[in-house]
Structure 1
């Protein structure tokens, strides 16, 4: 396992993230044009969605319907739990939403490490779990942005928010067709869900056209995006200090909470020990690709040092060292 941990921590994605942080801390003149950073976000959202749709097209609906509902449950529930925790921590709305989206989504690299560990242990898992990686991203981002639009409107129109007591009744009053329209047809969700549907529709027949740009070049474009996010994190790193130990504990403890929920959900929908472990990894991971790309366009004022710094600097190595083995042991114990 130590070899896998070292391999992932020394991956180009992590190293370029560190390079971006160091460049910012040492006041380098390295910058990214605004149009380029926006283009990288658009590319990643399309690539993630379309690859997940193609993967999902290879399985009959009756084989994946249970796990799909399980993933939807996690993608909807975890952002709510995360929002409650961060608001209890007195975090502002934009950064609370950014953590809800980041931790409601998942880490593709952590998932890949978990697959390697299962294969090394000779533990089988359901092949369609690879498609679940993308499916958990969409509902988490959608729910987080919907909550953001609702709660932001509550702040802008406090008189309406005071018409009922408690967050749930207030949210219910504030939901209207315009809020739903703004969320669903925001560019992040349009690109992610639209690409997923297109990938599902074209299936493997679309690979000759899609593969050269959205699959072959994916890792290289991801490195550019992570380097850019590293620069942003380095520039805003001092802002993290105001949240102190609470933020660190969030990045360490919530993966165990969400990951355990994921394992239980996987067992409930009938997955094997390996499949339930992977469901736990999906729930316990924090996204540093899809969610940051969506937040970059939909909640630009959220601090990347918080959501991306925690996802890559705390939760990612924690899951590699502790999280994945814990989820695996829980899955074995349950089954």
Structure 2
């Protein structure tokens, strides 16, 4: 009972703070059909700055970190990305009214990471005064790429198998090609990896990470990126709230299974991330804040790197399905659940 009260009180406190307040404010504006908008170039610029900030911060910390302490969380993040997609392949991809291709695209986005949700989690922990490892941002690519590659490879493999099964005795089919998309082979995996690294989100993050590790960007980081972080994040949350509300209408065009998945998956995935975080905490001394952010990453669904990757690799999948479920429901649920992971971390680990 006390835990439930703590969660409720933390939720109320967090809603009054900028991160969640701006997210909800954006949803309210969209609900009233407000004409307010942030130009798309400005939105993209804000995202790039936030990712550069996260990458620089992580790189500076990695430069000074014990590589063993970084390796274990990195492996945990990759494991989570793969596990979430495999779980999705047995749930959303199997539900009635959901095509396997659409289900795997949705699972891939939910296994990948939302930069805005991760940034929101960092901001909330900073406001709470809860410490976390500076290299957390470096875990983003491990989970993101593992999830996207797993989802696309499994979807393509299933598509090729379905094609082979439907070919008559007079036709021919091979597991390495044919169908409406690329076959399942090493070249396909290489293409996915290259496209993922070239995406704006991963490119900005990896660039910031490399600059933080191999150069000395502390002066520009402290004078420019750090002071702007919370203000830019508030604008991003406003945009995310408006977009989330607009995406809800798209879910009416697809199976109700996506609504159920979008509402429950972030909580299930976040709990899985919390469990993995506890294991890492017990083995390496991973901080309570680190466990929270690993949970946040697992609960989130990709809103930047994932959608263009899915559009390119799985063109047959319905964007209304996987974007509506992830951006329309998954993202706000993941952000609103951050106080839950904070309370659980304080309960089981302590600040």
* TM-score of Structure 1 vs Structure 2, range by shorter chain: 0.7 to 0.9
TM-score (norm 2): 0.71
Are residues 113 and 228 of structure 1, via their aligned partners in 2, closer, same or farther at CA, if it must alter by over 3 Å? closer
The alignment partner of 2:64 has SS state of coil
Query: Partner of 1:320 in structure 2?
Result: 339
Confirm or deny that 1:23 pairs with 2:15.
no
- Cα separation, partners in 2 of 1:233 and 1:49, compared to 1, 3 Å: same
Aligned to 2:145: 142
Aligned mates of 1:247, 1:288 — CA distance in 2: 11
Structure 1: where are the runs of 5+ without partners? 120-126, 165-169
Equivalent residue of 1:57, what SS?
helix
Structure 1 residues 254 and 63, CA gap change in structure 2 (3 angstroms): closer
2: CA distance between counterparts of 1:116 and 1:217?
15
Change (3 A) 1:207 1:67: same
Instruction: Report deviation, 1:53.
Output: 0.8
8 Å contact 2:277–2:294 — kept in the other structure? yes
Equivalent residue for 2:236? 225
Q: CA offset at residue 175 of structure 1?
A: 4.1
Q: How does 1:1-335 map to 2 (within 5 A)?
A: 4-62=10-68, 64-82=70-88, 84-89=90-95, 90=98, 92=102, 93-102=104-113, 107-110=118-121, 129-147=132-150, 149-150=152-153, 153=156, 159=163, 175-202=188-215, 205-240=216-251, 242=256, 243-267=258-282, 269-271=283-285, 275=287, 277-286=288-297, 291-295=302-306, 298-299=309-310, 301=319, 305-321=324-340, 323-327=341-345, 329=347
1:308 and 1:287 map into 2 onto residues whose CA distance is 15
SS in 2 for 1:266: helix
8 Å Cα contact 2:141-2:202 kept in structure 1:
yes
Is this contact kept in 1: 2:117–2:331, CA < 8 A? no
User: For 1:38, what is the secondary structure of its paired residue?
Assistant: helix
Instruction: Name whichever of 130-139 and 238-247 sits farther off.
Output: 238-247
Q: Distance in 2 between matches of 1:85 and 1:174?
A: 29
**2:59–2:213: 8 Å Cα contact kept in structure 1?**
yes
8 Å contact from structure 2 (residues 247, 327) kept in 1: no
| Alignment gaps of 5+ in structure 2 | 1-5, 166-172, 176-182, 312-318
SS at match of 1:292: coil
How many residues are treated as equivalent by the alignment? Answer: 313
RMSD: 3.9
When residues 96 and 289 of structure 1 are mapped into structure 2, their CA distance, relative to the original with a 3 A threshold, is: closer
Deviation at 1:315, TM superposition (A): 3.5
Deviation at 1:212, TM superposition (A): 3.1
1:77 positional shift: 4.0
